[in-house]
């Protein structure tokens, strides 16, 4: 009895002391991304301006803000609330990331918010499955860390996901969310769900679904053969059937478009319906969620904590799951 009492007393003391030992600190979370991406074909450079709306969800006061971005990016300027801010960059320890610390002009208490404008350039020396610039197609996917964010999949809380607005100075762009009208020669996407910004640009022809396939669009290379167009129509039909099936299980699907594209014999599919998540990972879904599918599984649109990346290539389904 004495030993049991002693153990319980020790546990109580440690548990009581733990909160007192926790340091009150700031913790930043993105609540909205607003990114304008300018592809410079001749220079093979992406010039971008990112506006981050962030919130201090920690218990401490924040005097600085740290974000991560690929080491290939060059930060040109940072403003906080319209005022120029001092920045300091150091090399990260994960996946060629740099850690950029911004000194805030005024401290932000817990629960407070701020708006940070970041202008930067990102040269693309050679095309990869995550970043590419070419006359035929260009792409910038989340795991290339092409845009600034305070938390990545390597941090404790996981990668930041938030609603976003993305403007790309090109046509025929596929991204996540609703395509909006923009200025001539540019494409605008607005995603009201929590996501990670990305885009794929190519020389596409659109094939619109009808009937049960309404709001489902397939993109095929310009000048595609009839076989490729027939395959696109089959994917539209398959997607419509999946949407109807999971709507019966989980309720009406959100009124958002589904878009898919084809290149190099594989599908690059983007969807704003979470039936893709349930379909690829049955039994582990948590309701309607937005996901994306890409020809490169290590890429694309993300949802909080977990994203499922399926790929259909030459009749065989492949999937990879990443915890974000």
The pLDDT tens digits for 116-125 are 999 999 999 9
Last residue of a domain, which of 173, 202, 231? 202
Interacting residues of 97 by C-beta distance below 8 A, sequence separation 6+:
68, 69, 70, 71, 145, 152, 154
> Mean pLDDT score of the chain, rounded to an integer?
76
Give a yes or no: residue 178 inside a domain.
yes
| d(C-alpha 73, C-alpha 55), whole Å | 24
- 196 and 70 housed in the same domain: yes
Bridge-based pairing of strands 113-123 and 45-56 is antiparallel
Taking only the tens place, the pLDDT of each residue in 204-222 is 888 888 888 888 888 888 8
Taking only the tens place, the pLDDT of each residue in 137-193 is 899 999 999 999 999 888 888 899 999 999 999 888 989 888 888 788 899 999 998
Domain of 279? 204-323
Whole-number Cα distances in Å, 252 to 1, 157, 176, 194: 59, 31, 20, 20
- 63 and 196 housed in the same domain: yes
Residue 216 has a pLDDT of: 85
- 197 and 49 housed in the same domain: yes
Residue 257 has a pLDDT of: 64
- How far from the centroid of its chain's Cα atoms is residue 25's Cα? 26
- 187 and 229 housed in the same domain: no
Interacting residues of 248 by C-beta distance below 8 A, sequence separation 6+:
none
Residue 23 has a pLDDT of: 64
- 37 and 118 housed in the same domain: yes
Whether residue 202 has pLDDT greater than 80:
yes
| d(C-alpha 133, C-alpha 11), whole Å | 58
Give a yes or no: residue 266 inside a domain.
yes
Mean pLDDT (whole number) for 7-25: 49
Last residue of a domain, which of 180, 202, 224? 202
- Give the containing element (helix H, strand E) for 138: strand 137-140
Last residue of a domain, which of 174, 202, 230? 202
Residue 250 has a pLDDT of: 85
Taking only the tens place, the pLDDT of each residue in 66-120 is 999 999 999 999 999 889 999 999 886 666 899 999 999 999 999 999 999 999 9
pLDDT band, residue 197 (cuts 50/70/90): very high
Whether residue 310 has pLDDT greater than 50:
no
Residue 22 has a pLDDT of: 55
> Environment class of residue 8 by beta-carbon count within 10 Å: exposed (0-12), middle (13-18) or buried (19+)?
exposed
Give a yes or no: residue 17 inside a domain.
no
Mean pLDDT (whole number) for 36-44: 95
| d(C-alpha 283, C-alpha 199), whole Å | 29
Q: Does the pTM exceed 0.75?
A: no
| d(C-alpha 65, C-alpha 100), whole Å | 8
- 113 and 208 housed in the same domain: no
Q: Which of 302, 260, 259, 310 is nearest to 281 (CA)?
A: 310
Residue 150 has a pLDDT of: 94
- 183 and 252 housed in the same domain: no
Give a yes or no: residue 10 inside a domain.
no
Bridge-based pairing of strands 131-132 and 258-263 is unpaired
The token duo for 96 is 């060629």
**Which CATH number does the domain housing residue 81 bear?**
2.60.40.1730
* Residue entry with tokens 């979370």: 29
Taking only the tens place, the pLDDT of each residue in 231-288 is 889 989 998 998 889 889 888 876 666 665 554 444 444 443 333 333 333 333 333 3
User: Rounded to a whole number, what is the distance in angstroms from the first to the last CA of the chain?
Assistant: 47
* Residue entry with tokens 């201090």: 56
- 227 and 318 housed in the same domain: yes
Q: How many structural domains are present in the chain? A: 2
Residue 213 has a pLDDT of: 87
Residue 145 contacts residue 60 (beta carbons within 8 Å): no
Reduced to 3 states (helix: H, G, I; strand: E, B; else coil), residue 52 is: strand
Residue 30 has a pLDDT of: 96
- 154 and 169 housed in the same domain: yes
| d(C-alpha 202, C-alpha 260), whole Å | 12
């Amino acid at each position: 009895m004495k030993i049991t009492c002693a153990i319980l007393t020790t546990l109580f003391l440690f548990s009581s002391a733990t909160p007192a030992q926790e340091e009150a600190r700031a913790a930043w979370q993105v609540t909205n991304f607003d990114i304008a991406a300018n592809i410079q074909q001749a220079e093979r450079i992406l010039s971008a301006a990112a506006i981050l709306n962030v919130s201090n969800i920690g218990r401490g006061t924040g005097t600085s803000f740290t974000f991560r971005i690929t080491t290939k990016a060059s930060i040109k300027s940072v403003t906080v609330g319209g005022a120029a801010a001092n920045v300091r960059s150091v090399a990260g320890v994960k996946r060629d990331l740099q850690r950029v610390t911004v000194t805030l002009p005024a401290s932000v208490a817990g629960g407070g918010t701020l708006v940070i404008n970041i202008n930067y350039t990102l040269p693309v020396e050679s095309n990869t499955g995550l970043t590419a610039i070419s006359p035929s197609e260009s792409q910038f996917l989340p795991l290339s860390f092409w845009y600034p964010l305070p938390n990545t999949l390597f941090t404790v809380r996981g990668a930041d996901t938030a609603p976003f607005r993305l403007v790309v100075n090109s046509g025929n762009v596929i991204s996540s969310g609703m395509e909006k009208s923009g200025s001539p020669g540019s494409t605008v996407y607005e995603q009201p769900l929590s996501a990670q910004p990305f885009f794929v640009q190519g020389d596409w022809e659109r094939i619109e679904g009808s009937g049960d396939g309404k709001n489902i669009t397939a993109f095929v290379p310009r000048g595609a053969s009839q076989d490729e167009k027939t395959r696109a129509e089959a994917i539209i039909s398959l997607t419509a059937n999946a949407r109807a099936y999971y709507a019966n299980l989980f309720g009406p699907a959100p009124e958002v478009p589904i878009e898919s594209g084809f290149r190099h014999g594989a599908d690059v599919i983007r969807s704003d319906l979470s039936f893709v998540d349930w379909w690829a990972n049955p039994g582990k879904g948590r309701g309607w969620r937005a996901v994306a599918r890409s020809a490169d599984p290590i890429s694309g649109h993300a949802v909080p904590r977990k994203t499922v990346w399926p790929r259909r290539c030459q009749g065989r389904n492949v999937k990879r799951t990443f915890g974000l």
